[in-house]
């Protein structure tokens, strides 16, 4: 089996620090640039699972790079280069303390809220009589706060964001406008691949007075897709939709008694399970992008990354 990248510990020229998230290792280069390594770590229910998934990082990095390029006419984007299949280099921004969640359908956590009797999400009223997976009349922007490490993000209304000065009203309205336009573009691109962009999240930062789109966009880790074919028929029958996301990983964990609750143990991730998840991520890549996935050399992927990045940094 191909080797996976479960962690990195690089020391690049002019490196000022490193932040390790659930999936990405982010290196600060001279306080001017961020070098983001998409590892093969995989998380679910806020838990990093014990085995890496070969090619997962490459899948996420290359999907994000493609979409960032395809939306750069809407909003300035943070990335400037991808010197390795698992790496993106871009400008370092001051991150806004909110994530912009855009929902086109009543699905996932919004459906769970609705099913439990909730008729408002992030200050937005929801009509009576809706059903699971039903399309909203128009997409909703339901922001969350960016939680500290290990904590859950919290829903918050636009009014509360502005009232507490998390973001100024002028800039928040710009974030809303950018988010809706990005969602419309993502929806158009997905439709060409026979997909429905159901919901997604966007993160923004600021540099030299300008707003940038940062992090990944429209990947299966940050977005939910339905297959267009059969959507209407399944909805009419009250059936579950065919999804294109990492939901299948959560479903496997739940089927084996794990939802991240205290006392629960992650089920054994056998080589067969790891291979199956890897193959599903490659399938996601090819469906979402319409491109054939070309596997990177995984004989020594960490050394490959170090070599490619050092070569690039000499030109930066």
288: Cβ contacts below 8 Å, ≥ 6 apart? 63, 190, 193, 195, 218, 219, 220, 225, 244
Round to whole Å and give the CA distance between 159 and 46: 28
The DSSP 8-state label assigned to residue 148 in this structure reads: P
Please tell me the predicted confidence (pLDDT) of residue 148. 59
Q: What is the pTM of this model?
A: 0.91
**Which backbone phi and psi does 192 adopt, to 5 degrees?**
-65, -20
CB 243 within 8 A of CB 224: yes
CA dist 291 → 66, 119, 213 (Å): 11, 41, 24
Residue-level pLDDT, tens digit, the chain, 316 residues: 789 999 999 999 999 999 999 999 999 999 999 999 999 999 998 899 999 999 999 999 999 999 999 999 999 999 999 999 999 999 999 999 999 999 999 998 899 999 999 999 999 999 999 999 999 999 999 999 986 554 567 999 999 999 999 999 999 999 999 999 999 999 999 999 999 999 999 999 999 999 999 999 999 889 999 999 999 999 999 999 998 888 889 889 999 999 999 999 999 999 999 999 999 999 999 999 999 999 999 999 999 999 999 999 998 8
Q: How do beta strands 24-29 and 15-20 pair?
A: antiparallel
Q: Which two tokens stand for residue 43?
A: 């998380």
| Residues 192, 102: Cα–Cα separation, whole Å | 20
DSSP β-ladder status, 87-91 and 243-244: unpaired
Structure token pair of residue 114: 């609705």
Other CB atoms within 10 Å distance of the CB of residue 285: 23
Q: What is the pLDDT of residue 149?
A: 52
124 neighbors 156 (Cβ within 8 angstroms): no
Q: How far apart are CA 219 and CA 65, in angstroms?
A: 10
pLDDT value for 221: 87
Query: Strand pairing partners for 103?
Result: 140, 199
Q: To 5 degrees, how large is the angle CA 218–CA 135–CA 117?
A: 105
HEC-encoded secondary structure of 50-71: CCCCCCHHHHHHHHHHHHHHHC
């Amino acid at each position: 089996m191909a080797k996976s990248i479960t962690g990195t510990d690089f020391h690049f020229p002019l490196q000022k620090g490193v932040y390790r998230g659930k999936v990405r290792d982010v290196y600060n280069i001279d306080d001017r640039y961020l070098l983001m390594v998409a590892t093969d770590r995989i998380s679910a229910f806020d838990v990093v699972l014990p085995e890496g998934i070969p090619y997962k990082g490459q899948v996420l990095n290359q999907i994000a790079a493609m979409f960032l390029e395809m939306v750069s006419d809407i909003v300035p984007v943070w990335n400037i280069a991808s010197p390795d299949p698992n790496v993106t280099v871009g400008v370092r921004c001051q991150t806004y303390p909110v994530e912009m969640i855009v929902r086109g359908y009543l699905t996932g956590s919004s459906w769970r809220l609705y099913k439990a009797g909730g008729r408002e999400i992030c200050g937005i009223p929801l009509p009576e009589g809706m059903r699971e997976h039903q399309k909203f009349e128009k997409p909703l922007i339901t922001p969350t706060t960016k939680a500290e490490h290990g904590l859950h993000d919290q829903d918050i209304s636009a009014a509360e964001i502005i009232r507490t000065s998390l973001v100024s009203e002028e800039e928040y309205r710009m974030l809303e406008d950018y988010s809706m336009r990005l969602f419309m573009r993502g929806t158009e691109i997905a439709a060409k691949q026979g997909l429905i962009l159901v919901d997604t999240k966007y993160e923004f930062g600021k540099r030299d007075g300008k707003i940038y789109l940062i992090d990944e966009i429209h990947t299966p880790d940050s977005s939910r897709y339905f297959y267009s074919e059969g959507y209407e028929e399944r909805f009419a029958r009250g059936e579950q939709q065919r999804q294109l996301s990492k939901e299948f990983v959560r479903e496997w964990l739940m089927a084996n008694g794990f939802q991240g609750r205290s006392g629960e143990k992650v089920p054994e991730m056998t080589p067969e399970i790891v291979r199956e998840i890897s193959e599903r991520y490659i399938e996601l890549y090819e469906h979402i992008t319409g491109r054939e996935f070309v596997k990177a050399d995984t004989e020594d992927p960490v050394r490959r990354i170090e070599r490619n990045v050092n070569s690039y940094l000499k030109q930066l």
